[in-house]
Each structure stands twice: as C-alpha cells, then as structure tokens.
Structure 1
Amino acid sequence: MSTASSPYARITDLLSNISNFNVIDTTLREGEQFANAFFSTEQKLKIAKALDDFGVEYIELTSPVASEQSREDNEKICQLGLKCKKLAHIRCHMDDAKVGVETSVDGLSVVIGTSSYLRKFSHGKSMETIYQVAEEVVTFIKSKGKEVRFSSEDSFRSDLVDLLKLYRHVDKLGVNRVGVADTVGCAHPRQVYELIRTLRGVVNCDIECHFHNDTGCAVANAYCALEAGATHIDTCILGIGERNGITPLGGFTARMYVADKAYVTDKYNLHMLRDIENMVADFVEIQIPFNNYITGYCAFTHKAGIHAKAIINNPTTYEILRPEDFGMTRYVSIGHRLTGWNAVKSRCEQLDLHLTDAEIKEITRKIKELADIKPLGIEEVDSLLRVYHTYIESSNYENMTAAANAAGDEIKQKASN
C-alpha cells in the first residue's frame, strides 16, 4: 500500500520521507543512560543481534572514550557480522575523534551543544569556536574514511540563525547527515515540521532526528520530521534513555505502519518486537507498561459491548493495527458488567456450545449480575457457560432464567470453596 492510498497518511509534501526512512536504534547508547540500565557485554551482544534481525538500518553504540569496557564491547559488537551499520557517539572534540576513528565502527555520531544554556553551563564555547572545532573534527573523521553525522544538541532552544549557519557549514564539509536533537523534549510537532522543512532547504545531506519524550511528543515529532524531509529517526527499545527516554522503537513502528503498512511490514520483522521488548525489559528490570504500543497487555483487548460486537464482525472497526502482523492476538473481555450478548455468543461458538440467541441473552444477564459483585475471569465465564449449557440440554429446568440462576449459584459455590 502506497502512502497515496492510505487515508491515515496526510502526505502532500514532495519532501516527505514517510515511505523512505531509516531507523538508528540507540538502545546501546542512549538506552545505557536509562536509570536502571547496566548492560553486560553478553546483553549488549544479544541486543545488537536482535535489532539487526528486526531490521534496523543502524545501531548507535556508547562512546569508545566512555570507558575501556565500552570500547571493548563496541569492538565485539562490530565483529558479529551484522547487516546494519554500527555508529559510535562522540563529543565534537579531537581527542574523542582520534579514538573513534581507530575503532571498527562504520561511522561516528558527533554532537555539541548549541543552545545558550549549554554553551554557558556545559562546554563554554562560543558559536565561532564551535564552527572551527566542527570543521577540524569533521575533516579529520572524513579523512579516515568514516561516515559522519554532525548534530547540534538542544537544537530547539538554539538560535535559528546560528543553527542554520552551522549546519550549512558542516554540510559543505561533506557530512553524511546533520542531526537535530530535542534534548529536553520541549518541541511540539508544528515546531519540528517548520525547523526540518527550513533545514531541508539549507543542506543537501541527510537529516537525522533525536526526540526526547519528556512531554509525550516523541513519536508525533518523529513522524512530522519525516513529513518535512528528515531521513533518519533515532529510537530506543521501549523508549528507554535519559530521564523519560526518547522515541520508542515500538511506538514509532506503530505510527509508520499506519502511514504505510506495506513499506513497514516489508522492511522490518515485526513479529520480533515483543521478544525484543521483553528481553530489554528483563535486562533493565522493568515491566512492559499495560498501555505499551503493540505489545502492552491491553493493546488489543476489547471490553465494551458495542466494541466487542463490531470487532467480532470486522476487527478494523476498532483496530487500526492488525495484531497478527506483530505476532499478537486480540482478546475480547466478557466477564464484566459492560459485556454484550454478541461477545458471549462468540465465546459460546468457540467452546462449541449450541445455545439460542434468547438463551445467550439470558446467560449474559447472569454474567452482568455476577460481575456487579466482582469481574469474572475467563475460566469462570467458561465454567458458567458450560454449566448453563448442561442445564439447558438436560431440560431439568422449566425455563432458561432458572437454568441461568442455577448455573450462577453453582459457580459462586465453587468460587467460595
């Protein structure tokens, strides 16, 4: 399906890369900055291999100057024979660059703060000095045959004139990409679109974007960046990273799937997402959130009666994502006071219990009555349906209401025991 045929993809800009983007997953760099993260060498190798199998185009690794162990781990990852490109994150400093070019990575991700906050309270350099250092570092890295991405830090709180001048400068030096970073998560989609659209008219190289999620806009910002002409998006598994993290790989995948399903399903091994997220969640000792994109416990759970009826008839009525495409399954919850008889009927059919619509409506009434006391688990509902079916089949009760009440009493007795 092309984006032109998707009613959910508002693609009117010729610069849009909604169907032509690359993922740079930085779980092994940004993700290491997550509060609970402390990846062992073995864990890093597993994450790198899983991301490569999923199909990301790049993985970004911790700076080789961070520690000796980091440098050794990076080398081991580079020896895995991965299909994706390996990048190492470094400061815009010649000392870092000299170490970086001696490693086995395919490229270096160079970064320096450009906002007044960072220039004053972090590295203390003027914009003029930044121009000079950037030229020195970029030229050196290119002379060693490495891919180069040059990024400003805290881009959305930087002076626009300074920013564009710096990007134009490094673009002329031949960088592969310039990077835009919403380091504090302050940007919103309209700001992102306007900045990336402006930048697209200034540089010829690719544009990479890195969005923090402090205000909940990371996925939307990534999408708008691609609409405006960005080419690469930074992600992390489960969105882990500094503070509230960055654009989650799963959430970004969900958004792009809706924009162009065929492109995303051909590009990535979507069935791997759940296992990758479970693995990293285990490594950093967290639970997958109940409302996590695609893989959360409730992602494909339907409860309201009117929803359940429509879902049974046609899942697309209330699902924009097809769970089967991600190796997931939908669940229609029926053991509660909001349930509808159509959902109960569907469950009876699954259990091969033959009841009339009138009988199903009566047992649905009983389920609602019991669920007013407490929600019923699926095992309790199934047991109730089977007992009711037995009573109806045996004709020991004069009417279906009596059978439903007797079945309910039996289930309550079992529960009390």
Structure 2
Amino acid sequence: MTTSISIFDTTLRDGTQGEGISLTAEDKLKIALKLDALGVHYIEGGNPGSNSKDIEFFRRAREMNLRAKLTAFGSTRRKNSNCEQDVNLKHLIESKASAATLVGKSWDFHVHTALQTTLEENLAMIYESIAYLKRHQMEAVFDSEHFFDGYKANPEYALSALAKAKEAGADWIVLCDTNGGTLPTEVHEIVTKVCSVIDANIGIHTHNDCELAVANTLAAINAGARQVQGTINGYGERCGNANLCSIIPTLQLKMNYSVVSDEQLKSLTSVSRYVSEIANMVQPVNQPYVGNAAFAHKGGIHVSAILKDSKTYEHISPELVGNKQRVLVSELAGQSNILSKAQELGLDVDAISKSRDIIERVKELEHQGYQFEGADASLELLLRDASGNEESAFTIESFKILCEKSEANMVTEAIVRVRVNGQQVYTIAEGNGPVNALDNALRKSLVQFYPSIADIHLTDYKVRVLDEKDATAAKVRVLIESSDFNDTWSTVGVSSNVIEASWEALLDSIRYALLGKKSSGSLEQWPESVGLSNH
C-alpha cells in the first residue's frame, strides 16, 4: 500500500516573509483557492493576531468551503503568564480555523537567550499552550523551532520539548531546521532517532540557507516524517523555505508516495506561475519541474536524441506536472533543432531544404546580438521567410520621429509611411515616447485594413545593453511581448540605435499577429505579397 504524505503549505505565512513579497488579503484568498485545487492538505493563512489583513483573510476564508484545513499561526504563551490571558492564543481561537500551528523553543540556547526564561518554564509554555488549543477542539501542530540545532547542542532537552508537546495532545510534531544549516545526513540520523523515541505524527520544516531545503525534506521523509511544510516556489525568509514545486512531484513520481491526484499534479506548473504573478516575483526559468527551461533543449545533439525518444534527455514527461517540452534555436543549434521547430510550427519540413543555410543565418544573427530563445515569434517569421511560406501584409517605406520639450511636458510625434496592397498610407500619431508613438502610428495605418489589430497590445518591453564598454553608443537588444485575447508572443530587435531595435521588434510583433489571423481565417482579405524583411 502506498504511504500518504501530508502537504502543509505555508506560502501565505512563511512565504510572505521573503524579501519583496507582500500580499493583500485579496491576493491571499486567490492563492488559497489555487492551493486548495492543487490538493494540499493544510493552508497556513497567517497570524490572525498580528495584523488586520490576516484577520480579514481568516474571516473571508471561512466562507470558501476549502477542502484543505485552514490553519492559523501563533506561538506558545508568554513566559510567566497563563493561556486564558494570552492575546495571541485568543486570536487563534477566534479565527475559527480548523487547525493552529504553535511555534515553540526546543534549543536551550534560544530559551536562555531569546526567551530569557528557564528550561522548565519553556516546557510548561509548550504543554499549556497546546492543551489550551485542544480544550477548544482545534487541531494542534507544534513547530519545534531550531530543533536540529537544539538536538545537536542538547539532545535530551530537545527531545523533552517534543515529549511535552505529545503529552499535551499535539496532532503533529514538526521538526524545524530554522536556520537552514543542517546537512541531509544529519537530518536523516536525527529524524530516525526522533521517530524511534517519540510515538507521534512527525513533520519536517526546512529552510534553504545551504541550498538543501528540498534534500533535507526528502531525507526526513525517508527517515519516517509524514508531513512536509513548505511554500510554492520556495518563497520565504532569507534564502527561502523548502520548495513544494520540487518536493511534491519528487515524492510522487520518484519515491512512490501518495501526495495529490495525477490530475492535480498536472496543475503544478500553472499554480507555480500563478503564485509568482500574484506575488509579483520573477520565476527563475531554470526552476526544476515548473520552470520555463525545465524541459528546454538547446544543444543539437540533445535535440537530435529527444526527437527519437524524449527519455534520452528528460527525467520525466513534462506533461505530468503541466509543463511542456521546448526546443530552442540558437548559435548552438543543429539541423535537428531547426527541423523540430519547423515541425512544431506546422511547416512543411521537406520544404525547408536549405536548413543548413537557416542554421548559419541564425548563428550569424545571434553573433550580432539577436536571441531567439525568448523570441519565438521572430524565429517563426524567420523560418517562414526561409521556407517561402510567408506573405507580408505590409511594407514600410519610411518613418520619422519628432520630439518637443516644453516646460509643461515632453511631446513625441511619429510619422509613418506604409504601403498595403499597393496603397500608400501616411499616418501621424503622438505617444508618451518614441516607441509608443511609432506603435500608435503603425496601428493607425493598418487598422483600416486589419481591424483585429485593435485587439493587440504590448505587455512587456525589455532593453538589454550588449556592449557596456561602448557606453551610449552600445548595441542594444529589445524584446517585446505582445498579447491579444487568445495568445501571447515575443519578438526581438537589435541595433546600436534603441529606436531602430524597438522598431524591428515592433514590426515582427505586428507581422506575427497578422500571420495568426490569416491562418485562422479571421481576415476576409489578405493583400498580395509585397515583401518585408526586418533582419
């Protein structure tokens, strides 16, 4: 029988302690729904006694009918007091959460230095606080803070803290590597010892200060722990917490534990990216399992092999976690990369008879500073041009930019001459900068021929200096991301003039959008090919 592992998500509490992360109550409610759909078993929402935002979250979350157990966070009672007068414990009860996490000390150094009390009083604080929660019919999770450091310094006292929690009725006893400095071999040895002397449900909570949070979590599971505490994308204080986006699939796909359903596992990538968007954090492209590059292949030898069998360079099928395989085309590409990309785009592979020429063209462009890994739309246009499969919707005859600075503001005006199906269009438009003015003028020229252009908008604009030593004369690479109601695509331009580089990327964006409309049949008329090459 497959052993089940309980997933305790603390993204909304411990995760928000990470630098640069701040979530509103509304943000936390949205993320909670995603976590619940993923199938985590506990959602720790925050400390209802610390701020009005968390109080609002618990009030509204109670009405959401979550399948996961909504969990409030707090600490053991204050020293030399009683639970009935402890405001923190009262807030836990008033939150009406299904469970509560109590953090308590298990390291004698912390008892003397941080709490400045006796070892006996600390044990009383643990026992009485957990017993108080149990009297109010709450599930009690005891987070034994700094347990591994405490065990290494004074194993007898660290174990006595756990024993007191068990005696008081704790439902879970969680061993915390709070400073993140313990090694996997130490974790395995210590958790094994704990499981042999403490007859209780044991959990693990690790931090990533030595880049070992995931490894330490897996070591603890191997030693007998049955609850994992962590966060989506590993968010958390300092270097972060154990990353559930790595732990969940590893436990389920590699170690044969029951964690979530197969369908829920397929949502892991989308949950990871959703949380990063809400938290306004850039997701590392190389993040295991869920990163954009987790199943990306660039080297020609690699691509040639995965075309025969993806297992040659992929440890799992990316679809199992909701991700997808990507073939990158760059200066390292071989013929296999080009053919794979053409096949992915639905082009006639046999028609690309000059694939060697295309490879050389890509390599030359990348040498100039172009980068097609993050600009799939520009790459598709390049392949279509090379295969004779591309018809241009318009041609640019010229453009001009005028800037005027007054005391009140800066006015930028763009003039664009475009030819569409033999007809010349002359357009003037203003913008809040040269790129915006050019964008407005180009759209104004084309929208009368292609009304769908009105649905397209730029969603991101990035400029990268390629030759810093050349200062203001340096060559730059511009990446533009565009969207409509159905799709998102990226294009690239390179020049020593930032406006020209932006213009190239902008033209590719519009060309690609019209290409998609044409292939979908949404344009009633397609002008005769008049030719346009930006590169």
Q: What TM-score does the superposition give when structure 2 sets the normalisation length?
A: 0.65
Number of the residue aligned with 1:241:
236
Alignment of 1:8-407 (within 5 A): 19-93=3-77, 94=83, 95=86, 96-158=88-150, 159-260=154-255, 263-264=258-259, 266=261, 269-334=264-329, 336-350=330-344, 351-355=346-350, 359-361=354-356, 363-365=358-360, 367-368=362-363, 370-375=365-370, 377=372, 378-379=376-377, 381-390=379-388
Amino acid at match of 1:415: N
Amino acid at match of 2:295: F
> When the two structures are aligned, how many residues end up with a matched partner?
379
Per the TM alignment, residue 344 of structure 1 is displaced from its structure 2 partner at its CA by 2.3
The farther-off stretch of 61-70 and 210-219 is 61-70
SS at match of 1:250: helix
Q: 1:134 to 1:338 in 2, by over 3 A?
A: same
SS at match of 1:191: helix
Cα distance in structure 1, aligned partners of 2:257 and 2:352: 40
Per the TM alignment, residue 266 of structure 1 is displaced from its structure 2 partner at its CA by 2.0
Per the TM alignment, residue 184 of structure 1 is displaced from its structure 2 partner at its CA by 0.9
The CA deviation string for residues 328-372 of structure 1, in whole angstroms up to 9 with x for no partner, is 2211112x2221222323334444335399854565455445544
Cα distance in structure 2, aligned partners of 1:152 and 1:56: 21
Per the TM alignment, residue 272 of structure 1 is displaced from its structure 2 partner at its CA by 2.9
Cα distance in structure 1, aligned partners of 2:343 and 2:236: 46
Amino acid at match of 2:335: W
Contact 1:62-1:89 at 8 Å conserved across structures: yes
Per the TM alignment, residue 281 of structure 1 is displaced from its structure 2 partner at its CA by 2.2
The farther-off stretch of 361-370 and 320-329 is 361-370
SS at match of 1:415: coil
Gaps of 5+ in 2: 78-82, 390-531
The CA deviation string for residues 266-321 of structure 1, in whole angstroms up to 9 with x for no partner, is 26613333333333323332211121233322122100111111111111111113
Amino acid at match of 2:198: V
Per the TM alignment, residue 29 of structure 1 is displaced from its structure 2 partner at its CA by 1.3
Cα distance in structure 2, aligned partners of 1:354 and 1:252: 40
Cα distance in structure 2, aligned partners of 1:216 and 1:230: 20
Contact 1:237-1:280 at 8 Å conserved across structures: yes
Cα distance in structure 1, aligned partners of 2:124 and 2:238: 32
Cα distance in structure 2, aligned partners of 1:347 and 1:275: 24
Per the TM alignment, residue 253 of structure 1 is displaced from its structure 2 partner at its CA by 2.2
Q: 1:363 to 1:36 in 2, by over 3 A?
A: closer
Q: Which structure is higher in helix share?
A: 1
Per the TM alignment, residue 58 of structure 1 is displaced from its structure 2 partner at its CA by 0.5
Cα distance in structure 1, aligned partners of 2:178 and 2:216: 13
Cα distance in structure 2, aligned partners of 1:199 and 1:111: 18
The farther-off stretch of 132-141 and 369-378 is 369-378
Per the TM alignment, residue 35 of structure 1 is displaced from its structure 2 partner at its CA by 2.4
Instruction: Answer 1 or 2: higher relative contact order, Cα 8 Å, separation at least 6.
Output: 1
SS at match of 1:90: strand
SS at match of 1:285: coil
Contact 1:208-1:234 at 8 Å conserved across structures: yes
Cα distance in structure 2, aligned partners of 1:222 and 1:390: 54
Cα distance in structure 2, aligned partners of 1:121 and 1:233: 29
Amino acid at match of 1:318: Y
Q: 1:101 to 1:315 in 2, by over 3 A?
A: same
Cα distance in structure 2, aligned partners of 1:77 and 1:295: 27
The farther-off stretch of 226-235 and 254-263 is 254-263
SS at match of 1:129: helix
Q: What TM-score does the superposition give when structure 1 sets the normalisation length?
A: 0.82
Per the TM alignment, residue 163 of structure 1 is displaced from its structure 2 partner at its CA by 1.0
Q: 1:33 to 1:332 in 2, by over 3 A?
A: same
Per the TM alignment, residue 64 of structure 1 is displaced from its structure 2 partner at its CA by 2.1
Q: 1:365 to 1:59 in 2, by over 3 A?
A: same
SS at match of 1:39: coil
Contact 1:113-1:152 at 8 Å conserved across structures: yes
Per the TM alignment, residue 217 of structure 1 is displaced from its structure 2 partner at its CA by 0.6
Q: 1:161 to 1:268 in 2, by over 3 A?
A: farther
Cα distance in structure 1, aligned partners of 2:263 and 2:352: 44
The farther-off stretch of 339-348 and 19-28 is 339-348
Contact 2:206-2:229 at 8 Å conserved across structures: yes
Cα distance in structure 2, aligned partners of 1:77 and 1:153: 27
Per the TM alignment, residue 205 of structure 1 is displaced from its structure 2 partner at its CA by 1.4
Contact 1:168-1:202 at 8 Å conserved across structures: no
Cα distance in structure 2, aligned partners of 1:268 and 1:161: 45
Contact 1:114-1:127 at 8 Å conserved across structures: no
Amino acid at match of 2:294: A
Cα distance in structure 1, aligned partners of 2:384 and 2:11: 49
Contact 2:5-2:227 at 8 Å conserved across structures: yes
Q: Which structure is higher in strand share?
A: 2
The CA deviation string for residues 192-240 of structure 1, in whole angstroms up to 9 with x for no partner, is 1111111101122111111111111111111111111001111112211
Q: 1:103 to 1:373 in 2, by over 3 A?
A: closer
Cα distance in structure 2, aligned partners of 1:231 and 1:57: 12
Contact 1:355-1:389 at 8 Å conserved across structures: no
Per the TM alignment, residue 147 of structure 1 is displaced from its structure 2 partner at its CA by 1.0
Q: RMSD of the TM alignment (CA)?
A: 2.7
Per the TM alignment, residue 82 of structure 1 is displaced from its structure 2 partner at its CA by 0.6
Contact 1:56-1:268 at 8 Å conserved across structures: no
Contact 1:270-1:327 at 8 Å conserved across structures: yes
The CA deviation string for residues 140-165 of structure 1, in whole angstroms up to 9 with x for no partner, is 22122111122221112112111112
Q: How many percent of aligned residue pairs carry the same amino acid?
A: 26
Cα distance in structure 2, aligned partners of 1:264 and 1:110: 24
